Chain A
Protein backbone atom coordinates (compact mmCIF):
# COMPACT_ATOMS: atom_id res chain seq x y z
CA UNK A 1 0.00 0.00 0.00
CA UNK A 2 2.78 2.39 0.95
CA UNK A 3 4.53 1.73 -2.34
CA UNK A 4 1.40 2.55 -4.31
CA UNK A 5 0.87 5.76 -2.34
CA UNK A 6 4.51 6.77 -2.80
CA UNK A 7 4.20 6.30 -6.54
CA UNK A 8 0.99 8.36 -6.58
CA UNK A 9 2.62 11.10 -4.51
CA UNK A 10 5.52 11.00 -6.96
CA UNK A 11 3.17 11.46 -9.90
CA UNK A 12 1.50 14.39 -8.13
CA UNK A 13 4.91 15.99 -7.53
CA UNK A 14 5.74 15.48 -11.16
CA UNK A 15 2.55 17.18 -12.29
CA UNK A 16 3.05 19.99 -9.77
CA UNK A 17 6.60 20.62 -10.94
CA UNK A 18 5.45 20.69 -14.57
CA UNK A 19 2.71 23.19 -13.75
CA UNK A 20 5.04 25.36 -11.64
CA UNK A 21 7.31 25.74 -14.63
CA UNK A 22 4.56 26.92 -16.95
CA UNK A 23 3.86 30.43 -18.19
CA UNK A 24 0.39 31.16 -16.91
CA UNK A 25 0.09 32.35 -13.31
CA UNK A 26 -3.07 30.34 -12.70
CA UNK A 27 -1.29 27.15 -13.75
CA UNK A 28 1.48 27.97 -11.28
CA UNK A 29 -1.08 28.33 -8.50
CA UNK A 30 -2.72 25.04 -9.45
CA UNK A 31 0.78 23.59 -9.29
CA UNK A 32 1.28 24.83 -5.72
CA UNK A 33 -2.10 23.36 -4.74
CA UNK A 34 -1.15 20.01 -6.25
CA UNK A 35 2.23 20.20 -4.54
CA UNK A 36 0.62 20.60 -1.14
CA UNK A 37 -1.74 17.67 -1.89
CA UNK A 38 1.27 15.54 -2.69
CA UNK A 39 3.01 16.65 0.49
CA UNK A 40 0.02 15.82 2.66
CA UNK A 41 -0.41 12.44 1.03
CA UNK A 42 3.28 11.75 1.56
CA UNK A 43 3.04 12.75 5.21
CA UNK A 44 0.15 10.30 5.71
CA UNK A 45 2.07 7.56 3.94
CA UNK A 46 5.24 8.17 5.91
CA UNK A 47 3.32 7.72 9.16
CA UNK A 48 2.60 4.16 8.05
CA UNK A 49 -0.61 2.77 6.57
CA UNK A 50 -1.12 -0.27 8.81
CA UNK A 51 -4.68 -1.23 9.58
CA UNK A 52 -6.22 0.05 12.81
CA UNK A 53 -9.20 1.88 14.23
CA UNK A 54 -9.54 5.64 13.74
CA UNK A 55 -7.73 7.42 16.56
CA UNK A 56 -10.81 7.94 18.74
CA UNK A 57 -10.53 6.43 22.20
CA UNK A 58 -14.15 5.41 22.73
CA UNK A 59 -13.91 2.54 20.24
CA UNK A 60 -12.58 -0.52 21.97
CA UNK A 61 -10.09 -1.44 19.32
CA UNK A 62 -6.79 -3.17 19.90
CA UNK A 63 -4.78 -1.01 17.54
CA UNK A 64 -5.18 2.54 16.34
CA UNK A 65 -3.67 4.26 13.36
CA UNK A 66 -0.94 6.77 14.18
CA UNK A 67 -2.64 10.02 15.25
CA UNK A 68 0.42 12.26 14.96
CA UNK A 69 0.68 12.50 11.14
CA UNK A 70 -3.02 13.29 11.01
CA UNK A 71 -2.53 16.24 13.34
CA UNK A 72 0.47 17.37 11.30
CA UNK A 73 -1.50 17.13 8.07
CA UNK A 74 -4.42 19.05 9.53
CA UNK A 75 -2.01 21.85 10.50
CA UNK A 76 -0.32 21.79 7.11
CA UNK A 77 -3.69 21.84 5.32
CA UNK A 78 -4.95 24.98 7.02
CA UNK A 79 -1.61 26.71 6.50
CA UNK A 80 -1.53 25.88 2.80
CA UNK A 81 -5.18 26.87 2.56
CA UNK A 82 -4.37 30.29 4.00
CA UNK A 83 -1.39 30.76 1.73
CA UNK A 84 -3.30 29.57 -1.35
CA UNK A 85 -6.17 31.98 -0.76
CA UNK A 86 -3.64 34.78 -0.26
CA UNK A 87 -1.80 34.02 -3.48
CA UNK A 88 -5.09 33.72 -5.39
CA UNK A 89 -6.15 37.18 -4.27
CA UNK A 90 -2.69 38.49 -5.08
CA UNK A 91 -2.85 36.96 -8.53
CA UNK A 92 -6.20 38.67 -9.01
CA UNK A 93 -4.76 42.01 -7.91
CA UNK A 94 -1.74 41.50 -10.14
CA UNK A 95 -4.02 40.79 -13.07
CA UNK A 96 -5.94 43.99 -12.37
CA UNK A 97 -2.81 46.11 -12.03
CA UNK A 98 -0.42 44.55 -14.51
CA UNK A 99 -3.05 43.38 -17.06
CA UNK A 100 -1.30 40.09 -17.66
CA UNK A 101 -1.11 36.60 -16.23
CA UNK A 102 1.95 35.68 -18.25
CA UNK A 103 4.89 35.07 -15.92
CA UNK A 104 7.29 35.92 -18.75
CA UNK A 105 5.96 39.47 -18.82
CA UNK A 106 6.48 39.89 -15.10
CA UNK A 107 10.24 40.12 -15.44
CA UNK A 108 11.96 42.34 -12.96
CA UNK A 109 13.31 45.24 -14.94
CA UNK A 110 12.62 48.89 -14.67
CA UNK A 111 10.99 49.33 -18.05
CA UNK A 112 7.78 48.00 -16.63
CA UNK A 113 7.67 50.58 -13.89
Chain B
Protein backbone atom coordinates (compact mmCIF):
# COMPACT_ATOMS: atom_id res chain seq x y z
CA UNK B 1 0.00 0.00 0.00
CA UNK B 2 1.48 3.26 -1.06
CA UNK B 3 -0.48 6.37 -1.94
CA UNK B 4 2.48 7.53 -3.97
CA UNK B 5 1.49 5.28 -6.86
CA UNK B 6 -1.55 7.37 -7.81
CA UNK B 7 0.28 10.71 -7.94
CA UNK B 8 1.66 10.36 -11.51
CA UNK B 9 -1.97 10.04 -12.66
CA UNK B 10 -3.45 12.56 -10.27
CA UNK B 11 -1.07 15.45 -10.98
CA UNK B 12 -1.74 15.76 -14.71
CA UNK B 13 -5.42 15.09 -14.13
CA UNK B 14 -5.79 17.88 -11.57
CA UNK B 15 -3.60 20.16 -13.67
CA UNK B 16 -5.83 19.51 -16.68
CA UNK B 17 -8.93 20.40 -14.67
CA UNK B 18 -7.31 23.55 -13.26
CA UNK B 19 -6.15 24.56 -16.74
CA UNK B 20 -9.73 24.58 -17.98
CA UNK B 21 -10.51 27.44 -15.62
CA UNK B 22 -7.51 29.59 -16.54
CA UNK B 23 -8.00 29.03 -20.26
CA UNK B 24 -7.97 32.64 -21.49
CA UNK B 25 -4.75 33.66 -19.77
CA UNK B 26 -2.12 32.17 -21.98
CA UNK B 27 0.98 32.99 -19.93
CA UNK B 28 -0.60 31.49 -16.84
CA UNK B 29 -1.56 28.28 -18.63
CA UNK B 30 1.94 27.96 -20.07
CA UNK B 31 3.65 28.35 -16.72
CA UNK B 32 1.13 26.23 -14.92
CA UNK B 33 1.29 23.29 -17.31
CA UNK B 34 5.10 23.37 -17.30
CA UNK B 35 5.10 23.46 -13.49
CA UNK B 36 2.70 20.51 -13.33
CA UNK B 37 4.91 18.55 -15.69
CA UNK B 38 8.03 19.29 -13.64
CA UNK B 39 6.20 18.09 -10.53
CA UNK B 40 5.13 14.96 -12.41
CA UNK B 41 8.76 14.29 -13.37
CA UNK B 42 9.93 14.64 -9.76
CA UNK B 43 7.16 12.39 -8.49
CA UNK B 44 7.76 9.69 -11.10
CA UNK B 45 11.50 9.89 -10.44
CA UNK B 46 10.85 9.20 -6.77
CA UNK B 47 8.49 6.39 -7.78
CA UNK B 48 11.21 4.76 -9.88
CA UNK B 49 13.63 4.96 -6.97
CA UNK B 50 11.06 3.59 -4.50
CA UNK B 51 10.26 0.65 -6.74
CA UNK B 52 13.97 0.07 -7.22
CA UNK B 53 14.67 -0.19 -3.49
CA UNK B 54 11.43 -1.70 -2.21
CA UNK B 55 10.02 -3.75 -5.07
CA UNK B 56 6.61 -3.55 -6.73
CA UNK B 57 4.43 -0.83 -5.21
CA UNK B 58 0.68 -1.34 -5.12
CA UNK B 59 -2.28 0.75 -4.08
CA UNK B 60 -5.73 -0.71 -3.46
CA UNK B 61 -8.03 2.12 -4.38
CA UNK B 62 -10.66 2.73 -1.70
CA UNK B 63 -9.05 0.13 0.55
CA UNK B 64 -10.76 -2.80 -1.20
CA UNK B 65 -8.57 -5.87 -1.43
CA UNK B 66 -7.00 -6.81 -4.72
CA UNK B 67 -9.31 -8.95 -6.82
CA UNK B 68 -12.40 -7.00 -5.69
CA UNK B 69 -11.31 -3.41 -5.96
CA UNK B 70 -9.22 -1.65 -8.57
CA UNK B 71 -5.53 -1.93 -7.86
CA UNK B 72 -2.75 0.30 -9.15
CA UNK B 73 0.52 -1.55 -9.42
CA UNK B 74 3.83 0.09 -10.23
CA UNK B 75 6.52 -2.37 -11.17
CA UNK B 76 9.80 -1.07 -12.57
CA UNK B 77 8.70 -1.38 -16.21
CA UNK B 78 5.61 0.77 -15.62
CA UNK B 79 7.52 3.27 -13.45
CA UNK B 80 10.25 3.79 -16.02
CA UNK B 81 7.67 4.40 -18.71
CA UNK B 82 5.75 6.78 -16.46
CA UNK B 83 8.96 8.74 -15.89
CA UNK B 84 9.66 8.85 -19.61
CA UNK B 85 6.09 9.99 -20.23
CA UNK B 86 6.43 12.82 -17.74
CA UNK B 87 9.68 13.99 -19.35
CA UNK B 88 8.11 13.90 -22.81
CA UNK B 89 5.12 15.80 -21.46
CA UNK B 90 7.31 18.65 -20.19
CA UNK B 91 9.31 18.91 -23.40
CA UNK B 92 6.19 18.91 -25.57
CA UNK B 93 4.71 21.69 -23.45
CA UNK B 94 7.91 23.72 -23.84
CA UNK B 95 7.99 23.10 -27.59
CA UNK B 96 4.37 24.18 -27.86
CA UNK B 97 5.13 27.69 -26.55
CA UNK B 98 6.75 28.66 -29.81
CA UNK B 99 5.13 26.34 -32.28
CA UNK B 100 1.48 25.75 -31.52
CA UNK B 101 0.08 29.25 -31.97
CA UNK B 102 -2.13 31.38 -29.75
CA UNK B 103 -5.40 30.37 -31.32
CA UNK B 104 -4.91 26.75 -30.41
CA UNK B 105 -3.51 27.63 -26.98
CA UNK B 106 -6.75 29.46 -26.24
CA UNK B 107 -8.74 26.38 -27.13
CA UNK B 108 -7.83 24.27 -24.10
CA UNK B 109 -4.68 22.90 -25.74
CA UNK B 110 -2.62 22.47 -22.56
CA UNK B 111 -5.59 20.93 -20.82
CA UNK B 112 -5.84 18.35 -23.57
CA UNK B 113 -2.12 17.55 -23.30
CA UNK B 114 -2.38 17.02 -19.56
CA UNK B 115 -5.45 14.78 -19.95
CA UNK B 116 -3.50 12.73 -22.46
CA UNK B 117 -0.55 12.41 -20.09
CA UNK B 118 -2.90 11.36 -17.29
CA UNK B 119 -4.41 8.71 -19.54
CA UNK B 120 -1.02 7.38 -20.59
CA UNK B 121 0.32 7.22 -17.02
CA UNK B 122 -2.91 5.57 -15.90
CA UNK B 123 -2.70 2.94 -18.61
CA UNK B 124 0.87 2.18 -17.50
CA UNK B 125 0.07 1.93 -13.81
CA UNK B 126 -3.26 0.16 -13.66
CA UNK B 127 -3.56 -3.46 -12.59
CA UNK B 128 -7.08 -4.00 -13.85
CA UNK B 129 -8.06 -4.79 -17.41
CA UNK B 130 -11.27 -2.77 -17.58
CA UNK B 131 -9.60 0.12 -15.83
CA UNK B 132 -6.96 -0.06 -18.54
CA UNK B 133 -9.77 0.29 -21.09
CA UNK B 134 -11.02 3.39 -19.28
CA UNK B 135 -7.55 4.97 -19.24
CA UNK B 136 -7.17 4.09 -22.91
CA UNK B 137 -10.39 5.95 -23.60
CA UNK B 138 -9.17 8.91 -21.54
CA UNK B 139 -6.02 9.19 -23.60
CA UNK B 140 -7.86 8.51 -26.85
CA UNK B 141 -10.51 11.14 -26.28
CA UNK B 142 -7.78 13.64 -25.38
CA UNK B 143 -5.98 12.61 -28.57
CA UNK B 144 -9.18 13.05 -30.65
CA UNK B 145 -9.44 16.55 -29.31
CA UNK B 146 -5.77 17.33 -29.96
CA UNK B 147 -5.68 15.83 -33.45
CA UNK B 148 -8.58 17.96 -34.67
CA UNK B 149 -7.80 21.12 -32.67
CA UNK B 150 -7.56 24.02 -35.07
CA UNK B 151 -9.95 22.42 -37.56
CA UNK B 152 -8.01 22.68 -40.81
CA UNK B 153 -9.27 20.60 -43.72
CA UNK B 154 -6.60 17.93 -43.54
CA UNK B 155 -7.10 17.59 -39.80
CA UNK B 156 -10.86 17.12 -40.15
CA UNK B 157 -10.38 14.58 -42.90
CA UNK B 158 -7.74 12.49 -41.19
CA UNK B 159 -9.07 12.65 -37.66
CA UNK B 160 -12.44 11.24 -38.76
CA UNK B 161 -10.62 8.11 -39.84
CA UNK B 162 -8.51 8.08 -36.69
CA UNK B 163 -11.60 8.23 -34.51
CA UNK B 164 -13.51 5.55 -36.42
CA UNK B 165 -10.59 3.11 -36.23
CA UNK B 166 -10.18 3.76 -32.56
CA UNK B 167 -13.89 3.29 -31.86
CA UNK B 168 -13.68 -0.10 -33.53
CA UNK B 169 -10.56 -1.10 -31.63
CA UNK B 170 -12.11 0.05 -28.33
CA UNK B 171 -15.21 -2.02 -29.11
CA UNK B 172 -12.95 -5.02 -29.68
CA UNK B 173 -11.18 -4.29 -26.39
CA UNK B 174 -14.50 -4.43 -24.51
CA UNK B 175 -15.46 -7.62 -26.35
CA UNK B 176 -12.15 -9.14 -25.25
CA UNK B 177 -12.75 -8.06 -21.67
CA UNK B 178 -16.24 -9.56 -21.83
CA UNK B 179 -14.95 -12.90 -23.13
CA UNK B 180 -12.22 -13.03 -20.54
CA UNK B 181 -14.69 -12.22 -17.79
CA UNK B 182 -16.99 -14.98 -18.99
CA UNK B 183 -14.19 -17.54 -18.95
CA UNK B 184 -12.43 -16.57 -15.71
CA UNK B 185 -14.85 -14.38 -13.74
CA UNK B 186 -12.29 -11.72 -12.85
CA UNK B 187 -10.77 -8.59 -14.36
CA UNK B 188 -7.77 -8.02 -12.10
CA UNK B 189 -4.68 -8.86 -14.16
CA UNK B 190 -2.81 -10.65 -11.39
CA UNK B 191 -5.91 -12.63 -10.48
CA UNK B 192 -6.50 -13.44 -14.16
CA UNK B 193 -2.98 -14.80 -14.36
CA UNK B 194 -3.57 -17.03 -11.33
CA UNK B 195 -6.96 -18.25 -12.57
CA UNK B 196 -5.60 -19.05 -16.02
CA UNK B 197 -2.59 -20.93 -14.71
CA UNK B 198 -4.92 -22.93 -12.42
CA UNK B 199 -7.33 -23.90 -15.18
CA UNK B 200 -4.66 -24.18 -17.84
CA UNK B 201 -4.62 -22.08 -20.98
CA UNK B 202 -7.31 -23.66 -23.11
CA UNK B 203 -7.76 -22.95 -26.79
CA UNK B 204 -10.49 -20.47 -25.90
CA UNK B 205 -8.13 -18.39 -23.80
CA UNK B 206 -5.55 -18.41 -26.56
CA UNK B 207 -8.22 -17.08 -28.92
CA UNK B 208 -8.93 -14.27 -26.46
CA UNK B 209 -5.19 -13.63 -26.29
CA UNK B 210 -5.07 -13.21 -30.05
CA UNK B 211 -8.08 -10.87 -29.84
CA UNK B 212 -6.11 -8.74 -27.38
CA UNK B 213 -3.13 -8.84 -29.73
CA UNK B 214 -5.41 -7.44 -32.45
CA UNK B 215 -6.81 -4.75 -30.13
CA UNK B 216 -3.44 -3.55 -28.90
CA UNK B 217 -1.98 -4.01 -32.35
CA UNK B 218 -4.55 -1.53 -33.64
CA UNK B 219 -3.49 0.92 -30.95
CA UNK B 220 0.20 0.24 -31.41
CA UNK B 221 0.46 0.16 -35.20
CA UNK B 222 1.46 -3.44 -35.83
CA UNK B 223 1.58 -4.88 -39.35
CA UNK B 224 -1.91 -5.48 -40.62
CA UNK B 225 -3.32 -2.77 -38.37
CA UNK B 226 -0.99 0.16 -38.97
CA UNK B 227 -2.92 1.51 -41.95
CA UNK B 228 -4.54 4.37 -40.00
CA UNK B 229 -1.23 5.66 -38.63
CA UNK B 230 0.59 7.42 -41.50
CA UNK B 231 -2.39 9.58 -42.44
CA UNK B 232 -3.47 10.41 -38.91
CA UNK B 233 -0.03 11.43 -37.67
CA UNK B 234 0.51 13.54 -40.76
CA UNK B 235 -2.45 15.80 -40.05
CA UNK B 236 -1.88 17.54 -36.68
CA UNK B 237 0.73 20.23 -35.92
CA UNK B 238 4.24 19.07 -35.05
CA UNK B 239 3.98 19.35 -31.27
CA UNK B 240 0.93 17.11 -31.24
CA UNK B 241 2.38 14.67 -33.77
CA UNK B 242 5.50 14.44 -31.57
CA UNK B 243 3.37 13.73 -28.53
CA UNK B 244 1.46 11.01 -30.39
CA UNK B 245 4.55 9.53 -31.99
CA UNK B 246 6.38 9.34 -28.69
CA UNK B 247 3.55 8.05 -26.53
CA UNK B 248 0.45 6.59 -28.15
CA UNK B 249 1.79 3.60 -30.05
CA UNK B 250 3.99 2.81 -27.07
CA UNK B 251 0.95 2.41 -24.84
CA UNK B 252 -0.24 -0.31 -27.19
CA UNK B 253 3.17 -1.99 -26.98
CA UNK B 254 3.15 -1.72 -23.20
CA UNK B 255 -0.27 -3.36 -23.08
CA UNK B 256 0.93 -6.20 -25.33
CA UNK B 257 3.97 -6.70 -23.11
CA UNK B 258 1.89 -6.67 -19.94
CA UNK B 259 -0.77 -9.02 -21.25
CA UNK B 260 1.65 -11.50 -22.81
CA UNK B 261 4.07 -11.61 -19.89
CA UNK B 262 1.41 -11.79 -17.18
CA UNK B 263 -1.83 -13.32 -18.43
CA UNK B 264 -1.41 -15.39 -21.60
CA UNK B 265 1.86 -17.08 -20.75
CA UNK B 266 1.08 -20.77 -21.06
CA UNK B 267 0.80 -21.19 -24.81
CA UNK B 268 3.79 -19.16 -25.94
CA UNK B 269 4.49 -21.59 -28.75
CA UNK B 270 1.51 -20.24 -30.68
CA UNK B 271 1.02 -16.65 -29.51
CA UNK B 272 4.66 -15.62 -29.43
CA UNK B 273 5.38 -17.24 -32.77
CA UNK B 274 2.50 -15.24 -34.21
CA UNK B 275 3.83 -12.05 -32.64
CA UNK B 276 7.26 -12.75 -34.06
CA UNK B 277 6.02 -12.98 -37.64
CA UNK B 278 3.80 -9.96 -37.20
CA UNK B 279 6.86 -8.11 -35.87
CA UNK B 280 8.89 -9.15 -38.92
CA UNK B 281 6.19 -7.92 -41.29
CA UNK B 282 5.80 -4.69 -39.31
CA UNK B 283 9.52 -4.01 -39.65
CA UNK B 284 9.42 -4.81 -43.34
CA UNK B 285 6.47 -2.56 -44.14
CA UNK B 286 7.74 0.24 -41.92
CA UNK B 287 11.09 0.19 -43.66
CA UNK B 288 9.50 0.08 -47.11
CA UNK B 289 7.39 3.11 -46.20
CA UNK B 290 10.30 5.07 -44.83
CA UNK B 291 12.49 4.61 -47.89
CA UNK B 292 9.63 5.13 -50.33
CA UNK B 293 8.69 8.66 -49.32
CA UNK B 294 10.50 11.91 -49.94
CA UNK B 295 8.37 13.74 -47.41
CA UNK B 296 10.12 14.52 -44.12
CA UNK B 297 7.10 13.82 -41.92
CA UNK B 298 6.17 10.56 -43.67
CA UNK B 299 9.70 9.24 -43.26
CA UNK B 300 9.64 9.89 -39.54
CA UNK B 301 6.16 8.38 -39.23
CA UNK B 302 7.14 5.16 -40.99
CA UNK B 303 10.15 4.92 -38.69
CA UNK B 304 7.69 4.67 -35.78
CA UNK B 305 6.23 1.57 -37.39
CA UNK B 306 9.68 0.01 -37.86
CA UNK B 307 10.54 0.63 -34.21
CA UNK B 308 7.23 -0.86 -33.10
CA UNK B 309 8.14 -3.99 -35.03
CA UNK B 310 11.61 -4.20 -33.45
CA UNK B 311 10.21 -3.84 -29.93
CA UNK B 312 7.48 -6.38 -30.64
CA UNK B 313 10.12 -8.83 -31.82
CA UNK B 314 12.01 -8.31 -28.54
CA UNK B 315 8.87 -9.07 -26.58
CA UNK B 316 7.99 -12.07 -28.72
CA UNK B 317 11.38 -13.75 -28.30
CA UNK B 318 10.78 -13.65 -24.55
CA UNK B 319 14.26 -14.34 -23.20
CA UNK B 320 15.89 -12.17 -20.50
CA UNK B 321 18.20 -10.52 -23.05
CA UNK B 322 15.47 -9.72 -25.55
CA UNK B 323 13.03 -8.39 -22.93
CA UNK B 324 15.76 -6.13 -21.55
CA UNK B 325 16.51 -5.06 -25.09
CA UNK B 326 12.86 -4.31 -25.73
CA UNK B 327 12.70 -2.11 -22.61
CA UNK B 328 15.88 -0.22 -23.58
CA UNK B 329 14.63 0.22 -27.09
CA UNK B 330 11.16 1.30 -25.98
CA UNK B 331 12.53 4.10 -23.78
CA UNK B 332 15.12 5.08 -26.39
CA UNK B 333 12.48 5.19 -29.07
CA UNK B 334 10.11 7.34 -27.03
CA UNK B 335 12.90 9.89 -26.56
CA UNK B 336 14.31 9.81 -30.07
CA UNK B 337 10.92 9.95 -31.79
CA UNK B 338 10.13 13.04 -29.75
CA UNK B 339 13.40 14.60 -30.93
CA UNK B 340 12.96 13.54 -34.55
CA UNK B 341 9.42 14.85 -34.83
CA UNK B 342 10.48 18.16 -33.32
CA UNK B 343 13.46 18.48 -35.64
CA UNK B 344 11.43 17.51 -38.68
CA UNK B 345 8.75 19.98 -37.62
CA UNK B 346 11.33 22.72 -37.21
CA UNK B 347 12.68 21.89 -40.65
CA UNK B 348 9.19 22.24 -42.12
CA UNK B 349 8.53 25.50 -40.28
CA UNK B 350 11.82 26.95 -41.53
CA UNK B 351 11.52 25.93 -45.15
CA UNK B 352 7.75 26.03 -45.51
CA UNK B 353 7.70 22.68 -47.27
CA UNK B 354 7.81 19.02 -46.29
CA UNK B 355 9.16 17.82 -49.59
CA UNK B 356 12.83 16.86 -49.63
CA UNK B 357 13.25 17.88 -53.26
CA UNK B 358 12.38 21.48 -52.48
CA UNK B 359 14.97 22.01 -49.74
CA UNK B 360 18.76 21.93 -49.74
CA UNK B 361 21.86 23.57 -48.34
CA UNK B 362 20.35 24.35 -44.98
CA UNK B 363 23.55 23.52 -43.07
CA UNK B 364 24.99 26.97 -43.81
CA UNK B 365 22.11 28.81 -42.29
CA UNK B 366 21.12 26.38 -39.55
CA UNK B 367 24.25 24.44 -38.49
CA UNK B 368 22.93 23.54 -35.04
CA UNK B 369 19.73 22.08 -36.44
CA UNK B 370 21.75 20.13 -38.99
CA UNK B 371 24.13 18.51 -36.55
CA UNK B 372 21.33 17.77 -34.13
CA UNK B 373 19.50 16.05 -36.93
CA UNK B 374 22.57 13.98 -37.75
CA UNK B 375 22.97 12.89 -34.13
CA UNK B 376 19.34 11.89 -33.87
CA UNK B 377 19.64 10.02 -37.17
CA UNK B 378 22.59 7.94 -36.04
CA UNK B 379 21.07 7.23 -32.64
CA UNK B 380 17.88 6.13 -34.38
CA UNK B 381 19.87 3.65 -36.42
CA UNK B 382 21.69 2.34 -33.33
CA UNK B 383 25.32 3.36 -33.87
CA UNK B 384 27.22 2.20 -30.74
CA UNK B 385 27.86 5.22 -28.53
CA UNK B 386 24.29 6.40 -29.00
CA UNK B 387 21.15 5.19 -27.33
CA UNK B 388 19.60 2.89 -29.93
CA UNK B 389 22.50 0.46 -29.80
CA UNK B 390 22.06 -1.40 -26.53
CA UNK B 391 18.40 -2.13 -27.12
CA UNK B 392 18.81 -3.49 -30.61
CA UNK B 393 21.95 -5.38 -29.63
CA UNK B 394 20.16 -7.19 -26.82
CA UNK B 395 17.08 -7.88 -28.95
CA UNK B 396 19.24 -9.42 -31.66
CA UNK B 397 21.29 -11.32 -29.08
CA UNK B 398 18.08 -12.79 -27.67
CA UNK B 399 16.84 -13.56 -31.16
CA UNK B 400 20.00 -15.45 -32.10
CA UNK B 401 20.00 -17.33 -28.80
CA UNK B 402 16.47 -18.54 -29.55
CA UNK B 403 17.47 -19.57 -33.06
CA UNK B 404 15.32 -16.96 -34.79
CA UNK B 405 18.01 -16.17 -37.35
CA UNK B 406 15.86 -14.88 -40.19
CA UNK B 407 14.03 -12.23 -38.22
CA UNK B 408 17.12 -11.21 -36.25
CA UNK B 409 18.98 -10.58 -39.48
CA UNK B 410 15.94 -8.67 -40.71
CA UNK B 411 16.19 -6.47 -37.60
CA UNK B 412 19.84 -5.78 -38.39
CA UNK B 413 19.10 -5.02 -42.02
CA UNK B 414 16.25 -2.76 -41.00
CA UNK B 415 18.75 -0.57 -39.09
CA UNK B 416 20.59 -0.03 -42.32
CA UNK B 417 17.49 1.08 -44.17
CA UNK B 418 16.33 3.21 -41.26
CA UNK B 419 19.71 4.93 -41.34
CA UNK B 420 19.37 5.37 -45.11
CA UNK B 421 15.90 6.91 -44.75
CA UNK B 422 16.92 9.52 -42.17
CA UNK B 423 20.29 10.25 -43.75
CA UNK B 424 18.37 10.88 -46.95
CA UNK B 425 16.66 13.73 -45.14
CA UNK B 426 20.02 14.97 -43.88
CA UNK B 427 21.72 14.82 -47.25
CA UNK B 428 18.92 16.36 -49.27
CA UNK B 429 17.98 19.05 -46.79
CA UNK B 430 21.31 20.10 -45.33
CA UNK B 431 23.93 19.43 -48.00
CA UNK B 432 24.14 20.94 -51.42
CA UNK B 433 23.57 24.43 -52.73
CA UNK B 434 21.29 26.78 -50.91
CA UNK B 435 17.97 26.81 -52.68
CA UNK B 436 15.14 29.29 -52.62
CA UNK B 437 12.44 27.82 -50.44
CA UNK B 438 8.80 28.88 -50.26
CA UNK B 439 9.50 30.44 -46.89
CA UNK B 440 11.91 33.21 -47.79
CA UNK B 441 12.31 35.25 -44.62
CA UNK B 442 15.27 34.15 -42.54
CA UNK B 443 13.69 32.70 -39.47
CA UNK B 444 15.56 31.72 -36.38
CA UNK B 445 15.04 28.24 -35.03
CA UNK B 446 16.29 28.89 -31.53
CA UNK B 447 13.20 28.59 -29.36
CA UNK B 448 12.13 25.48 -31.21
CA UNK B 449 15.46 23.74 -30.82
CA UNK B 450 15.83 23.76 -27.03
CA UNK B 451 13.27 21.03 -26.28
CA UNK B 452 14.68 18.87 -29.08
CA UNK B 453 18.17 19.47 -27.68
CA UNK B 454 17.03 18.25 -24.28
CA UNK B 455 15.55 15.14 -25.91
CA UNK B 456 18.83 14.49 -27.68
CA UNK B 457 20.83 15.11 -24.52
CA UNK B 458 18.67 12.67 -22.59
CA UNK B 459 18.97 10.05 -25.30
CA UNK B 460 22.75 10.60 -25.41
CA UNK B 461 22.94 10.17 -21.65
CA UNK B 462 20.73 7.11 -21.97
CA UNK B 463 23.18 5.67 -24.47
CA UNK B 464 26.40 6.61 -22.69
CA UNK B 465 25.16 5.92 -19.18
CA UNK B 466 23.82 2.45 -19.83
CA UNK B 467 25.73 1.33 -16.76
CA UNK B 468 23.57 3.54 -14.56
CA UNK B 469 20.32 2.65 -16.28
CA UNK B 470 20.91 -1.08 -16.50
CA UNK B 471 20.05 -1.99 -12.87
CA UNK B 472 16.63 -0.43 -13.34
CA UNK B 473 16.06 -2.09 -16.69
CA UNK B 474 17.27 -5.43 -15.36
CA UNK B 475 14.83 -5.18 -12.49
CA UNK B 476 12.02 -4.31 -14.90
CA UNK B 477 12.86 -7.28 -17.12
CA UNK B 478 13.12 -9.57 -14.13
CA UNK B 479 9.61 -8.69 -12.95
CA UNK B 480 8.27 -9.16 -16.48
CA UNK B 481 9.90 -12.58 -16.78
CA UNK B 482 8.78 -13.71 -13.33
CA UNK B 483 5.14 -12.69 -13.06
CA UNK B 484 4.96 -14.34 -9.61
CA UNK B 485 6.54 -11.21 -8.14
CA UNK B 486 3.87 -8.99 -9.62
CA UNK B 487 1.08 -11.36 -8.60
CA UNK B 488 2.42 -11.69 -5.08
CA UNK B 489 2.66 -7.92 -4.67
CA UNK B 490 -0.88 -7.38 -5.92
CA UNK B 491 -2.63 -10.28 -4.22
CA UNK B 492 -0.72 -10.35 -0.92
CA UNK B 493 -2.61 -11.75 2.09
Contacts and interface: CB of A to CB of B under 8 A. Distances in A.
B61 interface: no
Contact of A106 (B130, B137, B157): B157
Contacts of A61: none
Interface string A82-107: 11001100110110011000000010
B175 A39 contact: yes
Given A83-B144, A98-B157, A75 B130 contact: yes
Interface in A55-113: 68-69, 72, 75-76, 79-80, 82-83, 86-87, 90-91, 93-94, 97-98, 106, 108, 112-113
Nearest to A76: B174
A94 B156 contact: yes
Contact of B151 (A46, A83, A97): A97
A82 B410 CA distance: 43
Nearest to B140: A83
A38 B170 CA distance: 13
A82 B134 CA distance: 13
Given A79-B137, A86-B144, A108-B231, A43 B163 contact: no
B160 A94 contact: yes
A39 B160 contact: no
Interface stretch (B107-115, B176-184, B339-347, B419-427): B176-184
B176 to A, nearest CB: 10
Consensus secondary structure, chain A interface: helix
A85 to B, nearest CB: 11
B234 interface: yes
Contacts of A75: 130, 134
- The bracket for how many chain A residues form the interface is 35 or more
B449 to A, nearest CB: 28
Given A25-B160, A39-B174, A87 B167 contact: yes
Nearest to A110: B154
B66 to A, nearest CB: 15
B178 A43 contact: yes
B160 A106 contact: yes
Contact of A83 (B130, B163, B181, B234): B163
Given A93-B156, A112-B157, A86 B163 contact: yes
A47 interface: yes
A36 B130 contact: no
B124 to A, nearest CB: 20
B457 to A, nearest CB: 35
B148 interface: yes
A48 B164 CA distance: 30
A98 B156 contact: yes
Given A36-B171, A46-B178, A72-B130, 12 more contacts: A32-B168, A35-B171, A39-B175, A40-B174, A43-B181, A47-B178, A69-B181, A75-B130, A82-B141, A86-B144, A91-B160, A94-B160
